[in-house]
């Protein structure tokens, strides 16, 4: 019972703060509350804490270099405040694994949950850090030069960001969880949690880091191939939006309506599955 109260309290405190500092817009905050409660009530407050820390770091990355990115026209809209679509894109896969963890074999699903967070973390870090790169991005599929912010474009700096994003969740996240489980004062909170790491923590950290980084690479590959690419009928600009200048754009590549958020969900889910497979290997 105590862990439910603590989880609800964590969501009840962090969500209004995230809204107040414009990490999330209104609907984004509501969506984050729903996903946060689902994670808190299934995996307990410790893992909810990992998720909240990730979302905070994630938002800080988005805010980082906002002015420079705004000049490039590649910044997230609304001053970096995340919409409900963005929250779902980053958090849905982790929540699915969290909910599954109370139904099935738990430790493997915890690896899936953590890998999904590492995946979203790696993707955000590589995208945001990559946008600050001085060199022009190249398309991950055929290495042709593309404009900054174009889906599927990668830079060396962006890939380094992806590795750091994945490893930071894989190692730091897991060691924090491990430390908290070992902390007597907090045992009350963790007594019902599904995951009690005792040994082989390196194996967990490795699986989660690999899953996370693979997801960031997959995100670029899917972005370069399946993601919808349009040309505006009015201003003739290349765009990733189905609508531009108030009219429907012409599809010139990828699958219609398969946007960046959908690619994110697919990539984080695949990254989580890869993490589980690496863990089992
Ligand atoms: Zn246009």
The pTM for the full model equals 0.83
pLDDT tens track for 6-55: 999 999 999 999 899 888 899 999 999 999 999 999 888 888 888 888 87
Task: Say how many Å lie between the CA of residue 244 and the centre of ligand 1.
Answer: 4
pLDDT < 50 stretches in the chain: none
Task: Say how many Å lie between the CA of residue 230 and the centre of ligand 1.
Answer: 10
Report domain extents, the chain. 2-221+257-280
Task: Say how many Å lie between the CA of residue 231 and the centre of ligand 1.
Answer: 8
Residue pair 23/82 in contact (Cβ under 8 Å)? The answer is yes
Q: Provide the percentage of residues in the chain whose pLDDT is more than 90.
A: 32
Q: What contacts 135, CB < 8 A, 6 or more positions away?
A: 155, 156, 157
- 180: how many CB neighbours lie within 10 A of its CB? 19
- In angstroms, the CA 251 to CA 226 distance is 12
Task: Say how many Å lie between the CA of residue 233 and the centre of ligand 1.
Answer: 7
Give residues whose Cβ lies within 5 Å of ion ligand 1. Answer: 232, 234-235, 244-245
Phi-psi region of 149 (alpha: psi -120 to 50; beta: other; left: phi over 0): left
Q: How far is CA 37 from CA 44, 82, 229, 250, 262, in A?
A: 9, 18, 35, 40, 23
Task: Say how many Å lie between the CA of residue 78 and the centre of ligand 1.
Answer: 19
Task: Say how many Å lie between the CA of residue 224 and the centre of ligand 1.
Answer: 21
């Amino acid at each position: 019972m105590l862990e439910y109260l603590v989880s609800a309290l964590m969501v009840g405190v962090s969500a209004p703060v995230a809204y107040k500092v414009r990490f999330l817009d209104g609907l984004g905050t509501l969506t984050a509350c729903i996903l946060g409660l689902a994670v808190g009530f299934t995996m307990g407050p410790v893992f909810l804490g990992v998720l909240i820390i990730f979302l905070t770091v994630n938002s800080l990355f988005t805010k980082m270099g906002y002015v420079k990115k705004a000049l490039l026209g590649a910044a997230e809209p609304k001053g970096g405040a995340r919409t409900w679509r963005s929250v779902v894109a980053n958090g849905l896969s982790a929540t699915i694994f969290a909910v599954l963890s109370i139904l099935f074999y738990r430790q493997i699903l915890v690896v899936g949950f953590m890998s999904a967070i590492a995946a979203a973390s790696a993707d955000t870090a590589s995208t945001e850090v990559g946008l600050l790169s001085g060199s022009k991005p190249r398309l991950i599929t055929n290495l042709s030069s593309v404009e900054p912010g174009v889906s599927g474009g990668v830079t060396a700096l962006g890939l380094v960001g992806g590795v750091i994003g994945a490893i930071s969740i894989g190692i730091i996240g897991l060691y924090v969880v491990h430390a908290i489980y070992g902390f007597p004062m907090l045992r009350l909170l963790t007594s019902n949690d599904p995951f009690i790491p005792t040994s082989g923590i390196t194996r967990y950290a490795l699986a989660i880091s690999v899953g996370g980084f693979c997801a960031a690479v997959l995100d670029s590959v899917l972005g370069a191939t399946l993601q919808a690419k349009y040309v505006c009928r009015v201003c003739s600009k290349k765009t990733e939006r189905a609508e531009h200048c108030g009219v429907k754009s012409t599809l010139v590549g990828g699958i219609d309506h398969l946007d960046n958020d959908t690619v994110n969900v697919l990539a984080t889910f695949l990254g989580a599955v890869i993490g589980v497979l690496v863990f089992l290997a």
